[in-house]
Structure 1
Amino acid sequence: MKFGKWLRQQIEQTLPEWQDKFISYKDLKNLIHLISLAQKLHSPESGKAEADFITLLNADIEKFNAFFMEQEEDFIILHKELKERIQRMMTTIGPTGPQPMETEYSEEMQKLRKDIVNFHGEMVLLVNYSIVNYTGLAKILKKYDKHTGGLLRLPFIEKVLQEPFFTTDLISKLVMECENTMELVFPIITEEGGNNEQNEGEMNNAMVAEESIFRNTVAALVTMREMRRQSSTHSPLSLPPLNLPDSHVFQYIQLN
C-alpha cells in the first residue's frame, strides 16, 4: 500500500476533531514535484518552491507540537481527576465509608469505567498521532532528497528528534498507569454487591465505552504493532517512536 493511502486511513481512523492536525503530506508531495520539474527546466521557480516546502514543513511541526502539548496537558489534568474519583469510590465501598444507594452507585461506577477506558483510548491515539506524523516526515524528506538531489532528510530528522511531539515518554507512562488502574479497579468493582451476571453485563457495556474511540484505538494499536514488527532497522530515520510494549497492544485489544 502506498504511504499516501495508508496515511489517509490513519487520519480517518482517528477522532474527527484531530483530522486536520496531521502532516500536509499531499501538499508537500506536490511541492517536491514542482521543485523537481523546475530544476529540470532550470527555472528560478525552483528556489521559491523549495522555500515553500521548508515553510510548510516547519509549519506542520509547529502544528504537531501545539496540538500534542495541548492534549498532553489535558491528559495530565484528566489523569489527576480520575485518580481522585477512583479514590472517592474506593472510600465509598470501604467498610467505614457511607453506603450509597445501589442504583446511584451502579450508575456512577459504570460512568467511571467508561471514562477510564476512553481516557486510555485517547492517550493511545495520541501516541499513534506522534508515530504517524513522524513517519510522514521521514517519508516526505526521503522523497525530497531522492527527487531534488537535496540532503535535507538527515539534519531535519535530527531536529525532529528533539521536538515535543516526538517525545511520548510521559503519555506512554500515563497509558501504562491507566492499564494498571483498570487491572486494580475493575476486579474490585466486580466483587462489590449485586449478582455476577449483572456485574458482567455492566462491565461489558463499560469496556465498549465510546464505540468510535474503542474502534479507533484498536486500529491504532494494531498499526503500532505492525510498524514495529515490519521495521528492519533501529535507525531513528526509519523506526517510528514506540514506547508501549507489545503486551499493551494485546492487553487493550483483549479488553473487549
Structure 2
Amino acid sequence: MTILAAHDIGISFGGVKAIDGVSFRVAPGQILSIIGPNGAGKTTLFNVVSGVYAADQGRVELAGVDVTAAAPERLAARGLSRTFQNLQIFQRMTAVENVMVGRHLRETCNLFADLLRLPSVTRQNRATREAALALLDDVGLRDSADHLAGALPYGACKRLEIARALAAEPKVLLLDEPAAGCNAVETEEIDRLIKRVAEKGIAVVLVEHDMKLVMKISDRILVLERGRPLTEGTPREVRDNPAVLEAYLGKHGSREAARA
C-alpha cells in the first residue's frame, strides 16, 4: 500500500529546471532517503511535496488523493508533517509548549469557550499537555519538558522539532537533514528515533547527507542528479552503483557507506 506518491514532478525557476521528471512512492512504515549533492533539488522536491512550491508538472498523491495543489496547512490536516533544514523551534517557549503547538490541528477550537475559559478548554489543554509529554518521552526529552527550548543542546532541539511534527499525528513525516550539524552521539539518537517512528507505521521520507545514517536506516534510496533521478534502490544497490559512487559518495562517502 502506498501512502505518499510523487509522479513526474517538475518545477523551474527563471527558466532553469530545478526538478525534472522525479517520481517516488513510499508505504506506511517505510523509510525512503533522498540523496544527492548540494543543488541536486532535494529540498526543492520536499517543498513541492509539502505544498510550499507549486509544481509546473506532475502530481502528488497522499493516501490515494491528489493533493498537488493543496496548501501546507491542508496537507498537514490530511496527515503530512515535515521538519526543515534550519531549526524552526520557538526558542522562548518551553519544550513541552513547542510540542503543544504542534497539536493544534487535533484540537477542537471554540472562541466562545476560550473567552469564557469553560471547563472543556481546561480539559483540552490538559489532554494536549499530556500528549505532548508523551511525545517528549518518546524522543528522550521528558526531563527537559519545562526547560526553554533555546537552552537545549543542538541535538536535543533537532529531536524536539521531530516531536512537534509528530504531534499532528501524521501518516507521513518529511525530515530535511535531521542529523545536520549533529555530533556522532546526537546522530545515533536521531537514527534510533527515525527507526522508532517508522516502526509505528509512519512513512518517513528524509533528505540527508550523512551516508552512514542513510545506509543504515533506509529501506530504499532515491538518488538525484541536477534535479533528475539517477537511480533508486535498496541501500546495497545504491552503494554498489558505480554512477552513484562517482557522482555522490566519492572515496570518503564510500567508506562511510561500507561501514553502515
TM (norm. structure 2) is: 0.28
- Larger Cα-atom Rg: 1
Which structure has more helix as a fraction of its residues? 1
Which structure has more strand as a fraction of its residues? 2
TM (norm. structure 1) is: 0.28
